[in-house]
Structure 1
Amino acid sequence: MENESQRGSPTRGDRQRERTRRKLLDAGRTLIAERGVAGLRIQEITERADVALGSFYNHFTTKEALVEAVISESLTDLAAATMTSVRHVVDPAEVVASSCLRIIRLAFDDPDFARLVVNLGHADSLFGTAMHPYARIAVERGLATGRFAVVDIEVTLTAIIGGAFGLIRGILDGRHGRGAEEAFTQHVLTSLGLTPTDAAAVSGSVAATIGR
């Protein structure tokens, strides 16, 4: 008779390790929200997670590694939630517009978190990895319906995601103010094949719906 390991299913030990990792991530996320990264201590994290101090190093090599994991997970959750919020929207252009507006507004609505994201090591890579799967789904939907037209989807996605990251950093640095998110959204929609007039109409309509 095959055991769990032979079948490829998670063993009891695997499940315990995953529970411990989940506790550490949740504790880290809570402490970062409460006091930021600067004063974060590994012992505090393990105490909040109610696990042994040594357990931390079974999952993360450093405090910074845990912070990266927390931020990466938070960004993925944000991207997933953004797509979920528009799952019933028919027009792919409106889906993209809503996603762009919500992601860029992170710099205005939660600047502390946005600043933490852009200041991490490999920040652009973490941001891209979190956003790419959801952005690709949205763009592919528009290509399938004929709403969008692009030469190369991967080049387009790289430009859009990289532009979003750069704009968030620019907003935090004070180089752009309110309205930048709508200008960016219109730019994205035109890069996907909409006319400037159509892009402005879609962006304005979605912005009014989700609130300026």
Structure 2
Amino acid sequence: MAEKGMEGVAINEITEAADVGFGSFYNHFESKEAIHAALTDWVFEHFADTLDQLTRDLSDPAEVISVSVRHTVLRARSDPLWGQFLMREGFSSRALSRGLGRRLMRDVEKGIAAGRFVAEDPLLTVISVGGTVLGAITMQLEFESPEEPGPDPFAESGFSSDQLAERAAAVLLKTLGLSRTEAVEIAYRPLPALTLPDESA
């Protein structure tokens, strides 16, 4: 679904990839749309929970946005298939209304309430942040795995994927109203360590 979208995937492709019988699919899902909805919820809710863990000890809304943006771009770099799925579904109503979208709106509103962000329209601010992140991921995946061989148009135009996550965070913080100096300083701070719960307990 990350590569083809829901419409481009047949149920028999899903069962073959999962190595289960065709009939077994309907023991768990009533349709292809149902597995797509469950997958979208699981991917985005799980990742949103991860971001909440990463930022739980941060009091500055600007640093929360910075860490979330950087971690999202870095996750897509380390897991390109996940990045493709995020690019495909990031602006879907399901992604915007729950999981990542809902948490991003919460964090933007906290920043506005605290006087850290200057934003007249929280919804369009969320769309701007999301669009910049998805654009950075798109460029990064294309830069590192170009679909067509030959001269790299990004390199020819001076584009580099070096520290792309930090650069994206700095641009967004400036867009949200921080000074260039403060935006860059926050964007290049060390990322907090993620400690996952022990699931064997």
**Fold shared by both chains (TM-score > 0.5):** yes
Letter in 2 for 1:115: Q
* Match 2:91 to one of 117, 124, 129: 124
Correspondence 1:133-212 to 2 at 5 A: 133-174=102-143, 175=154, 177-207=161-191, 209=192
| SS of aligned partner of 2:162 | coil
Is the 1:80–1:134 Cα contact (8 Å) retained in structure 2? Answer: no
Runs of 5+ unmatched residues, structure 2:
1-8, 144-153, 155-159, 195-201
Deviation at 1:44, TM superposition (A): 7.0
RMSD of aligned Cα (Å)? 3.0
Correspondence 1:1-212 to 2 at 5 A: 40-42=13-15, 45=18, 47=20, 52-56=24-28, 59-62=29-32, 66-67=35-36, 69-118=38-87, 120=88, 122=89, 124-125=91-92, 127-129=95-97, 130-174=99-143, 175=154, 177-207=161-191, 209=192
Identity %: 22
Deviations 1:28-51 (A, max 9, x none): xxxxxxxxx898443775949xx9
| SS of aligned partner of 2:188 | helix
Distance 1:47 1:138, change over 3 A: same
Letter in 2 for 1:203: A
Deviations 1:148-200 (A, max 9, x none): 22121111111111221122122111155131111110111111111010000
**Distance in 1 between the 2:121 and 2:40 partners?**
29
Deviation at 1:92, TM superposition (A): 1.2
Distance 1:60 1:173, change over 3 A: farther
Is the 1:186–1:203 Cα contact (8 Å) retained in structure 2? Answer: yes
Deviation at 1:123, TM superposition (A): 5.2
**Distance in 2 between the 1:131 and 1:104 partners?**
14
Distance 1:168 1:68, change over 3 A: farther
**Distance in 2 between the 1:173 and 1:68 partners?**
27
Deviation at 1:124, TM superposition (A): 3.2
Larger Rg: 1
Is the 2:96–2:102 Cα contact (8 Å) retained in structure 1? Answer: no
Higher relative contact order (CA 8 A, sep 6+): 2
Aligned residues: 167
Deviation at 1:203, TM superposition (A): 0.7
Is the 2:166–2:187 Cα contact (8 Å) retained in structure 1? Answer: yes
Is the 2:66–2:173 Cα contact (8 Å) retained in structure 1? Answer: yes
| SS of aligned partner of 1:178 | coil
**Distance in 1 between the 2:169 and 2:123 partners?**
18
Letter in 1 for 2:31: T
Distance 1:171 1:65, change over 3 A: farther
Answer 1 or 2: which has greater helix percent.
Answer: 1
Deviations 1:44-74 (A, max 9, x none): 75949xx955434xx3422x65245314421
Letter in 2 for 1:85: L
Runs of 5+ unmatched residues, structure 1:
1-36
